[in-house]
Structure 1
Amino acid sequence: MMILAVCLKLLFCQQESETGESCDNFTDLDLTHCFVGTSLYVRLLLYTRSNLDCGRELNHHHLSSQPLFSLSRPTAFVIHGYRPTGAPPIWINHIVHLLAEQEDMNIIVVDWNKGAANLNYFTAVTYTREAALNLTGFIMMMEAEGASLSSVHLIGVSLGAHLAGFVGANLKGKIGRITGLDPAGPMFTRATPEERLDPSDAMFVDVLHTDMNSFGLRGAHGHIDFYANGGADQPGCPKTIFSGKSYFVCDHQRSVFLFLCALNRTCTLTGYPCSSYSDFLDARCLQCETFKPASCPVLGYDVSPWRETLQQLGQTKVFFSTTGALPYKKLMYRVDMVTWNQYLRWGVVYIRLHSGRNVTEARIDHKLLRFEQYTSTRLLAQFDEDLQHIQKISLRINTGNVIGPRYKIRLLRIRFTPLELPERSYKLCEY
């Protein structure tokens, strides 16, 4: 009984704002609740520029009871996913503040922690339909009182992405936008479009994939699907189980941190339309002719430059690579070279940029490259650092010969062009 009393106190405690007003906080549970199991209870916590650090719980049936909510502003709903420990998501406050910086809007955190916090994942999955009905009813009330469905944006993380999709389907796809951050894979791998997030759930659906080979969902499920590092293993995440919890959640959570970084405008993550990540690495997809006069699609909040084109295209896959830590952005160069060597050579390429004592290296080693006489070769070189004043560029081709002769690769010419800064081009040599 003592344990139950403590848990209830944690669940319903309120924080006070600087003005002395009580704040409504995200439901904080612990492993006890998860072991026992929780039944679904949905809370809607409102944040605006006037109360960014002090949530206000909305009445599901009477919007007029909360004067901070404005029907004339756009509304973004933030929907979390499965919570196996019951703790609040560490990123909630960050996304609330960053969304408020984009424009003046209602930000509603959909707190369904009671329901998502169950050790049995399948129980949480079954609750997504019921939670979606709850949220659907609230949005219908908003529409009845004068709000436009086209101004509603649902941002769903993992299992929350499918929950958002169910809401959109309930509203016949009239929701303005759904953003799915690595939609959950388990229990949805063989699901039909009606049983998961898909492009018909909203007027515009954008999806970010970071863990398709584990907790994320494979395939394309939006008008545009961003695949970070191919959509599976992420740099900087543990590769062995000995790293503990991080080994299981790092790739999956990276979708949230990439989106937060994009909202913060500290990293510009540009996606390149392509059929596969391997084709992207092979430098076959470095053009964005489809989106002219706009540039390639960029992950983030503002999709207006590409939205109309993407809606017309149907479904588009775009790929990009990142580093393992903030600001995640890689500097990408298109490398065009013409080889002159008489005999066919195979190898991998290492390129270094030098600026004073600073050096950054790109390894083009995802496969063996073919070099033959009078043949033009295009490569994609990706660097972790952007050195501003390049003084020297060195290139090495490793043919893999350890014991035999050291072969040379002769070049007629070579040019380096940064993809996002084409005016900063380097033509190194010409015979």
Structure 2
Amino acid sequence: MFLLKYLALLLLTAQIRKAQACDEFTDLAFGHAIIGTTMKTRLLLYTRENVTCGTLMSHTDISNHPQFNLSKPTTFVIHGYRPTGSPPMWLQRIIELLLIRKDVNVIIVDWNHGATSLNYFRVVENTHKEAENLTAFVKKMQECGASMSSIHMIGVSLGAHISGFVGANLNGSIGRITALDPAGPEFNGTPPEMRLDPSDALFVDVLHTDIDSLGYREPIGHVDFYANGGTDQPGCPKTIFSGGAYFKCDHQRSVLLYLDSVSYTCESKAYPCSTYKDFLDGNCTSCDRFGDLGCPVFGYNVTDWKDVLLELGQTKVFFSTNTVSPFCMTNFRVDMMIWNKDVRWGYITVKLHGDGKESVAKINHAATKFRRYTETTLLAQFDKDIQEVKTISLTFSSGNVFTPRYKLRLLRIRLTNLDRKDRPLCRYDILLENKEVTFRPIPCEESNF
């Protein structure tokens, strides 16, 4: 169904494109970043009738655009710093996905003339000018009957703060701001009026992917998602020898994660926790505070949790991802009890088999301590979702080739799917040595869960 809708939209917009000229996002050369540009804003409208053909909006006469239906919700997409002047590679993709999801007006805010410069500080100054321009346009919309609560702004990096400035100018009346890795440099440590903050919209959801470099560090919305702890996204280069990707990959990952959430690819559940380490240690697997809804999912659908999140106040949540799309992982709580006399330290790898697939979780962020007759809780994050688990494989390793190869005698292991309400899987009396052990799980007895 999703593919059919997508093809139908493309066919319709291709027919319209033949009949009219299309306005494109500004494409500047690197030379513009050196010599500088004059601040200019272009608003490009896309609808289900013109998915790939933008229409340049008038800033003063909205009535000139019959395709702009103010009875529909409007989503603004605001890019960030463009040091080379090139258009963002993800623009057309986000337009298509948003329009498949919902019949809205999508407006791409093209402020490339203000965002292209080698002087980052000048571009930061331009964010306030851009916000004033965009605020005037939204006020025109309001005068023509648009509902402020139906406006959604998606801001990337500096675009997140522009969204915040617009929201503040409108007294926090716009419906939603989604901030994708809000820019950190020149904004970290500043007061709320100098950056995005929760009062800028009725609901502010934020994703952090590069808090140790280009992104904003602290919570800044009603709910703040920290993907992989907010740093070092999997699959991104680890050394400077990888070139430009080393500097921008973590930051740009925020957009790719959001696209996954819009496209129905999969859902990433996120867990409230004080630190990412506590999350990885399995100390934050409870979602009781969210009631029957369970823990919130990152991205497009987080508004399903809006009322609860607004009641809770600022909420900080964590999730982990795969290296490529589909980025979402499947989360299990693993409870283990050993009957070795001596304490054991080591790492566990769990594999799930079923549906003709194998899914792997390596619990290796830190050595785990196992003590006799004491239940140890771990968080296992699997790269794939397996609906019906047939067999499970376990490997125990001390992680040190110079120490003896210890045996781990499991009295019991219990695996609980945190993303679905499946009955937990158990197994009793297993001997783990320095090799993989495979077994068939059984449904846990009622007293064990």
TM category (shorter chain) comes to: over 0.9
For residue 307 of structure 1, what is the aligned residue in structure 2? 306
Does the CA contact (< 8 Å) of 1:238 and 1:250 recur in 2? yes
For residue 273 of structure 1, what is the aligned residue in structure 2? 272
Does the CA contact (< 8 Å) of 2:181 and 2:216 recur in 1? yes
Matches of 2:101 and 2:47 in 1, distance apart?
A: 12
SS in structure 1 of the partner of residue 159 of structure 2: helix
Does the CA contact (< 8 Å) of 2:353 and 2:391 recur in 1? yes
User: 1:426 deviation in Å?
Assistant: 1.9
Structure 2: unaligned runs, 5 residues or longer: 1-13, 431-449
For residue 11 of structure 1, what is the aligned residue in structure 2? none
Does the CA contact (< 8 Å) of 1:38 and 1:117 recur in 2? yes
Establish whether residue 264 from structure 1 lines up as the match of residue 263 from structure 2: yes
1:266-345 alignment, distance < 5 Å: 266-345=265-344
Residue identity (%): 55
Structure 1: unaligned runs, 5 residues or longer: 1-14
Farther off after superposition, 255-264 or 349-358? 349-358
User: 1:387 deviation in Å?
Assistant: 4.1
SS in structure 2 of the partner of residue 292 of structure 1: helix
- Residue 128 and residue 360 in structure 1: after superposition, are their counterparts in 2 closer, same or farther (change >3 A)? same
SS in structure 2 of the partner of residue 49 of structure 1: coil
For residue 5 of structure 1, what is the aligned residue in structure 2? none
Farther off after superposition, 261-270 or 362-371? 362-371
For residue 211 of structure 1, what is the aligned residue in structure 2? 210
1:12-411 alignment, distance < 5 Å: 18-355=17-354, 359-400=358-399, 402-411=401-410
SS in structure 2 of the partner of residue 18 of structure 1: helix
| TM-score after normalising by structure 2 | 0.89
Post-superposition Cα deviations, 1:116-169, rounded to whole Å, max 9, x if no partner, equal 011111111000001100000111111111111111111100000001100011
Give the letter for the 1:159 counterpart.
L
Matches of 1:96 and 1:400 in 2, distance apart?
A: 47
Matches of 1:264 and 1:242 in 2, distance apart?
A: 33
For residue 420 of structure 1, what is the aligned residue in structure 2? 419
For residue 4 of structure 2, what is the aligned residue in structure 1? none
Matches of 1:407 and 1:299 in 2, distance apart?
A: 40
- Residue 339 and residue 131 in structure 1: after superposition, are their counterparts in 2 closer, same or farther (change >3 A)? same
Give the letter for the 1:316 counterpart.
T
Matched pairs, number = 417
- Residue 312 and residue 387 in structure 1: after superposition, are their counterparts in 2 closer, same or farther (change >3 A)? closer
RMSD: 1.8
Does the CA contact (< 8 Å) of 1:220 and 1:315 recur in 2? yes
User: 1:87 deviation in Å?
Assistant: 0.6
Matches of 1:400 and 1:43 in 2, distance apart?
A: 56
Does the CA contact (< 8 Å) of 2:332 and 2:417 recur in 1? yes
Give the letter for the 1:350 counterpart.
T
SS in structure 2 of the partner of residue 410 of structure 1: strand
| TM-score after normalising by structure 1 | 0.93
- Residue 282 and residue 97 in structure 1: after superposition, are their counterparts in 2 closer, same or farther (change >3 A)? same
Matches of 2:340 and 2:320 in 1, distance apart?
A: 32
Matches of 1:155 and 1:318 in 2, distance apart?
A: 20
SS in structure 2 of the partner of residue 428 of structure 1: strand
Give the letter for the 1:18 counterpart.
R
Does the CA contact (< 8 Å) of 1:71 and 1:142 recur in 2? yes
Does the CA contact (< 8 Å) of 1:16 and 1:23 recur in 2? no
Matches of 1:241 and 1:179 in 2, distance apart?
A: 30
Post-superposition Cα deviations, 1:199-228, rounded to whole Å, max 9, x if no partner, equal 011110000011111111101000000111
User: 1:354 deviation in Å?
Assistant: 3.8
Matches of 1:377 and 1:250 in 2, distance apart?
A: 36
Farther off after superposition, 395-404 or 124-133? 395-404
- Residue 403 and residue 111 in structure 1: after superposition, are their counterparts in 2 closer, same or farther (change >3 A)? closer
